[in-house]
Amino acid sequence: MGESKKQVGVLGLGRMGTALAGALLGAGHDVSVWNRSPLKAGPLLDRGARLAATPAEVGSVDVVLSCLSTYDIQQPVLEAAAPKVLVNLTSGTPEQARGVAKWAASEGIDYVDGVIMAVPQGIGTPAAQVLYSGSETVFAAQRDVLEVLGAPVFLGEDAGLAALYDLALLGMMWSTMAGYLHALALVGTEGVTPAQFAPMASAWQSAVGGFLPGIGEQVASGNYETDVSALDINAAGLALLVETSRAQGISPAVPAALQELFDRTVAAGHGSHAIASVIEEIR
């Protein structure tokens, strides 16, 4: 990489930490790694990484990436490492990220928080995206390193924003997967296989995705008037889904939770409004 080559430290060699270190090695950076179990470093050492005996040995490099399992485990490691520049890629809450940012500022450490929107196998590929928040100056200065991991997206100076986006997006993913699994269980009661159902489900999910910008506009404006599909009709549909699930012998837990939310919103006076009005009950 010529002049852009940097000394990069990676704290934590779980699946994701190992993938991060591997991508950095592949891009030509000088990589030092630390992990509580040194044996995990073996394949990386074969590729040219250096194994640090302590976190402090990693802290002296140009930039340190931390990817540990929890914030409770991470904090004493960070205190021991005392890095000059820290990119925190440990998953947590917005408040936890802000807490580390406050600690870093008190120690004179340049800090940016990040969340990885990819599986380990996707790191270093065009499909990977990593969201960042905190110091835009640090983000810009380390962009050559961050671009190796995946497409970097800066969200703002609030260090908690990346974690907030992360959990919001994951919430959508988990809800979608739970709905799909419920659908598979439901059609499966009549012998429909996942292979038979998946093409229709994928096409339907793509169509539903097209609704999101319009829903966002309604939420932003607070105008929930609709001539398309009123909430009370959808609440009645959820009741039918719950009833059918029970009749087919499967758990109605997934649609029942939505039915309860939709029914509360209808009771609050939004029955003739669009589904977007449900946000008022969520709030």
Give the per-residue pLDDT at 101: 97
The upper half-sphere exposure of residue 79, i.e. CA atoms within 13 Å in the direction of its Cβ, equals 7
pLDDT at 251 over 90: yes
pLDDT band at 237, cuts 50/70/90? Answer: very high
Q: For residue 2, what pLDDT is reported?
A: 41
Q: What confidence tens digit (pLDDT) does each residue in 31-89 have?
A: 999 999 888 899 999 999 999 999 999 988 999 999 999 999 999 999 999 999 999 99
CA distances (Å), 104 to each of 77, 81, 238, 247, in order?
13, 12, 48, 56
Neighbour tally for 36: CB within 10 Å: 12
Q: What is the mean pLDDT of the chain?
A: 96
Asked if residue 3 has pLDDT above 70, the reply is: no
Question: 249 falls in which pLDDT band (50, 70, 90)?
Answer: very high
What's residue 1's pLDDT? 40
Q: Distance between CA 161 and CA 26 in Å, rounded?
A: 30
Rounded Cα distance, 244 and 252, in Å: 9
Q: What residue type is assigned to position 136 of the chain?
A: E
Distance in angstroms (rounded) separating the CA atoms of residues 15 and 178: 25
Q: Average pLDDT of 96-113?
A: 97
Domains of the chain, each with CATH number or no CATH: 2-158 (3.40.50.720), 165-282 (1.10.1040.10)
Q: Compute the average pLDDT of residues 118-133.
A: 95
Beta strands in the chain (DSSP E): 7-11, 30-34, 50-51, 63-66, 85-88, 110-117, 129-134, 151-154
Nearest to 10 by CA among 70, 75, 87: 87
List, in order, residues 6 or more apart from 193 with CB less than 8 Å away.
none
Give dist(CA 126, CA 148) in Å, integer.
10
Helices (H) and strands (E) in the chain, counts: 13, 8
- Shortest CA distance to 12 belongs to which of 125, 89, 123? 89
The tokens of 5 are what? 């080559």
What average pLDDT score do residues 107-118 get?
97
**pLDDT at residue 38, as a whole number:** 87
CA distance 225 to 221: 11
Whole-model pTM: value is 0.92
Tens of pLDDT, residue by residue over 145-199, are 999 999 999 999 999 999 999 999 999 999 999 999 999 999 999 999 999 999 9
Query: Distance (Å, rounded) from C-alpha 257 to C-alpha 282?
Result: 12
Calpha distance 172→178 (Å, rounded):
10
